[in-house]
Chains A and B, each alone.
Chain A
Amino acid sequence: MTQAGPAALTNEEVGRYSRHLIMPEVGMEGQLKLKAARVLCVGAGGLGSPVALYLTAAGVGTLGIVDFDTVDHSNLQRQIIHGTPDVGRSKLESAKARLNALNPEVEVVTYEMALSSQNALGLFADYDMVVDGTDNFPTRYLVNDACVLTGKPNVYGSISRFEGQATVFAAEDGPCYRCMFPEPPPPGLVPSCAEGGVLGILPGVVGTLQATEAIKLILGVGESLVGRFLLFDALKMRFRELKVRQDPDCPVCGEHPTVTAPIDYDQFCGITPAATPTSGSTDATVEELKTRLDRQDSFLLLDVREQREFEICRIPGSVLIPLGELPARMSELDGHADMIVHCKSGVRSGKAVALLRNAGYTQARNLQGGILAWIDRVDPALPKY
């Protein structure tokens, strides 16, 4: 093994990256830029999987990954960095093992923690750019603001069902996430739980777009997505582009910024403990439900999940009215005063109970923890999803 200098490639690396080295757009110079690059990937999930795999394969010198989750069976449909034997393991441990096996030349640095207003600036300062693979509004605004404040590009991607979005925010002279979306939607306005789900391949496509943009930024080649918002529709197999402009009045990257340090993002996004009606003093427990079902009490067990979920598993004797249809189908509840309402985990049924009480069904009660709690504590034979 010969080494011409600290920044040179070893013979092994020359072999590994040969398909890069013979390209004029990369070459030895570009590969050395990749080797010197430091990229931080926030999230080792659906988007983070292809991002981390491709950046590691490409020979990015240092890859930092932030996550605090463990691998669950339900992740494997899309989070391809993890495998079945990794279920129950920390996502970071699982990802690091996979990445080290893929390319031991890359230094993988793991941060087992939630990104926060306290740690983001210090963490980002050590990297050249940040890839946003998160899944919620508070963390997305935090990633954006911390990128603007530390001067690091934010390689952005997000997905929902079969549609994806990708761009590069917070690059020099480019717009930031707040320029495009000054405010998040309030929690609960856009249907989330019931509208949920994601085509497993979608984060593969969008995360790969993010990895491509990161590589291009490192190499300084091509036209980046700065100022262009890419929309991908997997069902129609169609890409569209929108223009994103830097907003001179942007509170974080504008001419007179008012956000000069990370703020409280839960508060900014309207998330307060009281806003999620998951528990309340009038809630029913799954044990109480079991007792009442066994006693054959007269009451209505209302399931407000979607038909597709009802087909996966249900509590015997339950009646299905999806939350979205509930306002129009209230009359079907005539004659039922005593009601226990459930969904998957208790959030949608909390909203249903609020609707029902407003409509005069004052005895409607939420089942704490939903059918997941029922499966955990009463009927473990049912499949969990």
Chain B
Amino acid sequence: MATKILIPTPLRGYTDQLDEVEAEGATIGELLANLTTRYADLRKHLYAEDGTRRNFVNIYLNDDDIRYLEKDQTPVTADDTVSIIPSVAGGGWS
């Protein structure tokens, strides 16, 4: 069962420029593990060296932050869309 994952622009360099990819997994944790196995360069952007997910990477299941669901144990289905939401600072100022 594959679930759609939306890749934000700054990370597309690590997913062959794809803006969405599908990955297998019954939970968010499994899904992301499979995603970062396929796109190994993405791994260091999502996980710290000790394997914990980086604090500045927000993962959304549909429109909900998984921090307020069951975090990595949040179940996913083929109908869901998972988004990686980066923090963006730009203001076109300089």
Contact = CB atoms under 8 A, between A and B. Distances in A.
Contact of A137 (B63, B64, B87): B87
A159 interface: yes
Contacts, number: 103
B85 A242 contact: yes
Contacts of A243: 63-65
A189 B10 CA distance: 10
Contacts of B83: 242
B62 to A, nearest CB: 9
A183 to B, nearest CB: 4
A324 B14 CA distance: 10
Contacts of B8: 163
A61 interface: no
A46 B92 contact: yes
Interface residues of A, number: 46
A94 to B, nearest CB: 14
B52 interface: no
A184 B56 contact: yes
Contacts of B44: 189
A384 interface: no
A159 B91 contact: yes
A157 B65 contact: no
25 contacts: A43-B93, A45-B92, A45-B93, A48-B91, A134-B89, A135-B93, A137-B87, A158-B89, A160-B90, A161-B9, A163-B8, A163-B88, A181-B56, A183-B56, A184-B56, A185-B86, A190-B11, A191-B10, A229-B85, A231-B85, A240-B63, A241-B63, A242-B83, A243-B63, A243-B65
